[in-house]
Structure 1
Amino acid sequence: MGLSWQQGPLAQRSVGRFLTPDPLPERLLYAEPLRRRLRVRFGGDWIADSDDVTLLHEPGRYPVAYFPEAAIDPTVLEPAGHVTTHRDLGPVDWFTVQRGGSRAERAAWRFADLPTYAGPLRGRIAFAWHPMDAFYEEDERITGHAADLYHRIDIRRTSRHLVVRDGDRVVADSVHPRVLFESGFAPRWYVPRDDIDPAALTPVERQTFCPYKGLASYYDIGDRARAAWSYEEAWPEVGLISTYVSFEPDKIDVFLDDRRLALEPGQAVVPHGIDRGFDVDEALTRT
């Protein structure tokens, strides 16, 4: 979650509300300094490097990093002759990014005529995430999208009783699951393998990538497709759920202390976008 996507405070499906006497505008955009050194690599070279990056949050999108033009190698940008219109911020000029033998069409953009209130974005350029080789904070590669300053994950051990059933069959029964609280999502309950009937899980070839947790592997349960998943080698930051299995309450019956769980609305992850690249290959090449 961030300020403006999933169920964050500026998202269109926020779970909370601002306590104001008058309604807020339908859409609120928020810009802030990243306050981290961010670098972009393309064609084997560093093409942008700055500790003066501005993040833009807007409803339904992941945060986007905007670099000052002076921090970008000017030889890599070629006007694409393509203009679009942002619904709030006006015309957008697009650039082709090139370096050596690498070339990415319409892979960077700049607002051409910003309204006066959008001054923090003036003279700045953003790069589409997926076409670039990599983005780095200092010397560490970051994956998925620009760092979200409002995304947090907490994992707690618990002694609550969690049972998963497929009809009359008990798939899992645990009194020591772990619960993962992730900004903008309902709690997710993870069960240790020892408390699961291994014959109930059929591995699926498909994997997905979360920039905060790593690669997720999926399982069918009977005829319930991808009803469970596991981060079999979760990234160190969330190592407490590594190898544990979580179950989709809209696909399989999940009971917590005898209360049946349901999938809360607004939980779906936006599958793609120019400001993110949630690819399995990107996760595998993270350094």
Structure 2
Amino acid sequence: MGLAWQQGPLAGRPVGRFLTPDPLPERLLFAEPLRRRMRVRFGDRWIADSEDVLVLHEPGRYPVAYFPLADVREGSLEEAGRTTAHRELGATAWYTVRGGGREAVRAAWRHAEPPSWADEFEGRVAFAWRAVDSFYEEDERVHGHAADSYHRIDIRDTSRELVVADGDRVVARSRHPVVLYESGFAPRWYVPREDIDGNALIPVDGKTFCPYKGVADYYAIGGTAGAAWSCRDAHAEVGRVSSMVSFEPDKVAVSLDGRRLEPAPGQRVISHGADRGLDVHEAREPST
């Protein structure tokens, strides 16, 4: 979860609320400087390179990076002859992106006539995440969407006993699980593999990708698909949970110090939007 996504403060169904006597507008947009060098690669060449990126947080969407047109490689953009309307930011002009002998139609856009209260978007362009080859911060590739500085993960050790059961069968029992706190989400408990009955975990097809944790593999337990998952090669920032296993409390019985855990409301993970999706195999490719 970030500022405007899932249950964030500016999302449609926030986990908390603003303490104000007057209701807030139904939708609030928030723009801020990224303060990181960001680059865009397409057709084996850099088509944008800027330290002046602006990030738009819009309810129900991942953060979107906007580059000054002056920081986009000359000849990389061609007007696509298509204009749509953004409900707050007005007319949106679309572009074909060109580079290295390739092109992607409607792969970038610009708010052509932003209102006066959003004039910082004048002369800026955004690139559709899946339409270009890759985005980078300095020399490291970033996946999924622009950085959301309001998304945080903390991992803590605990000595509480966590037990996972499928009916009468104990699948896992651990006195040293770790708990992962992720902005806006209920705590997720991860168990070392040595504390799990490995025969109970049946690998299933299908993987997902989190820009903050990495690629997740899934397991069935007792015929229930998706009952557990593991980031076998988690990102370095959350490396403590690499290869550990977390269990879905709505699919198997997960108890902490004898208390049954229940799924928190509104915690269903929502996949990336069409312009921010990511192929799992692509997520595992190294930076170039």
TM-score (norm 2): 0.96
Supply the distance in 1 between the matched residues of 2:28 and 2:17 (Cα, whole angstroms). Answer: 13
Q: Is the 8 A contact 1:211 1:278 kept in 2?
A: no
For structure 2, the residue ranges without an aligned partner over 5 or more in a row are none
Aligned length: 287
Q: 1:129-186 CA distances to partner (integer Å, 9 max, x unpaired)?
A: 0121111111111111111111111100101111111111111111111000111211
CA-CA distance at 1:74 after TM superposition:
3.2
Q: 1:166-215 CA distances to partner (integer Å, 9 max, x unpaired)?
A: 11111111111100011121110001111111111101132211111111
Supply the distance in 1 between the matched residues of 2:151 and 2:76 (Cα, whole angstroms). Answer: 32
Supply the distance in 2 between the matched residues of 1:75 and 1:219 (Cα, whole angstroms). Answer: 48
Return the letter of the residue paired with 2:36.
Answer: R
Return the letter of the residue paired with 2:57.
Answer: H
Residue 199 of structure 1 aligns to a residue whose secondary structure is helix
Supply the distance in 2 between the matched residues of 1:198 and 1:76 (Cα, whole angstroms). Answer: 52
Q: Is the 8 A contact 2:45 2:100 kept in 1?
A: no
**In the alignment, what sits opposite 1:65?**
65
**In the alignment, what sits opposite 2:37?**
37
Return the letter of the residue paired with 2:263.
Answer: L
Supply the distance in 1 between the matched residues of 2:83 and 2:270 (Cα, whole angstroms). Answer: 25
**In the alignment, what sits opposite 2:48?**
48
Q: Is the 8 A contact 1:172 1:195 kept in 2?
A: yes
CA-CA distance at 1:279 after TM superposition:
2.1
Residue 67 of structure 1 aligns to a residue whose secondary structure is strand
Instruction: Find out whether 1:286 has 2:286 as its counterpart.
Output: yes
Q: Is the 8 A contact 2:144 2:272 kept in 1?
A: no
Supply the distance in 1 between the matched residues of 2:198 and 2:207 (Cα, whole angstroms). Answer: 19
**In the alignment, what sits opposite 2:116?**
116
For structure 1, the residue ranges without an aligned partner over 5 or more in a row are none
**In the alignment, what sits opposite 1:179?**
179
Q: Is the 8 A contact 2:36 2:51 kept in 1?
A: yes
Residue 216 of structure 1 aligns to a residue whose secondary structure is strand
**In the alignment, what sits opposite 1:141?**
141
Q: Is the 8 A contact 2:42 2:100 kept in 1?
A: no
Residue 74 of structure 1 aligns to a residue whose secondary structure is coil
Note the 1:78-227 alignment, pairs <5 A: 78-227=78-227
Query: CA 1:17–1:255 in 2, change beyond 3 Å: closer, same or farther?
Result: same
TM-score (norm 1): 0.97
Q: Is the 8 A contact 1:3 1:10 kept in 2?
A: yes
Residue 194 of structure 1 aligns to a residue whose secondary structure is helix
Supply the distance in 2 between the matched residues of 1:265 and 1:80 (Cα, whole angstroms). Answer: 43
Q: Is the 8 A contact 1:64 1:275 kept in 2?
A: no
Return the letter of the residue paired with 2:264.
Answer: E
Supply the distance in 2 between the matched residues of 1:179 and 1:127 (Cα, whole angstroms). Answer: 36
Supply the distance in 2 between the matched residues of 1:261 and 1:154 (Cα, whole angstroms). Answer: 20
Q: 1:91-132 CA distances to partner (integer Å, 9 max, x unpaired)?
A: 211111111321111100011221111112111100000121
Q: Which moved more, 1:8-17 or 1:49-58?
A: 8-17
Return the letter of the residue paired with 1:257.
Answer: D
Identity of aligned residues (%): 67
Supply the distance in 2 between the matched residues of 1:279 and 1:210 (Cα, whole angstroms). Answer: 11
Q: Which moved more, 1:32-41 or 1:276-285?
A: 276-285
Residue 282 of structure 1 aligns to a residue whose secondary structure is helix
Supply the distance in 2 between the matched residues of 1:190 and 1:134 (Cα, whole angstroms). Answer: 31
Return the letter of the residue paired with 2:88.
Answer: D
Q: 1:234-267 CA distances to partner (integer Å, 9 max, x unpaired)?
A: 1211111111100011111111122211222222
Return the letter of the residue paired with 1:78.
Answer: E
Q: 1:71-102 CA distances to partner (integer Å, 9 max, x unpaired)?
A: 11231111111111112211211111111321
Q: Is the 8 A contact 1:201 1:221 kept in 2?
A: yes
When the two chains are superposed, the root-mean-square deviation of aligned CA atoms in Å is: 1.2
Supply the distance in 2 between the matched residues of 1:235 and 1:26 (Cα, whole angstroms). Answer: 35
Residue 118 of structure 2 aligns to a residue whose secondary structure is helix
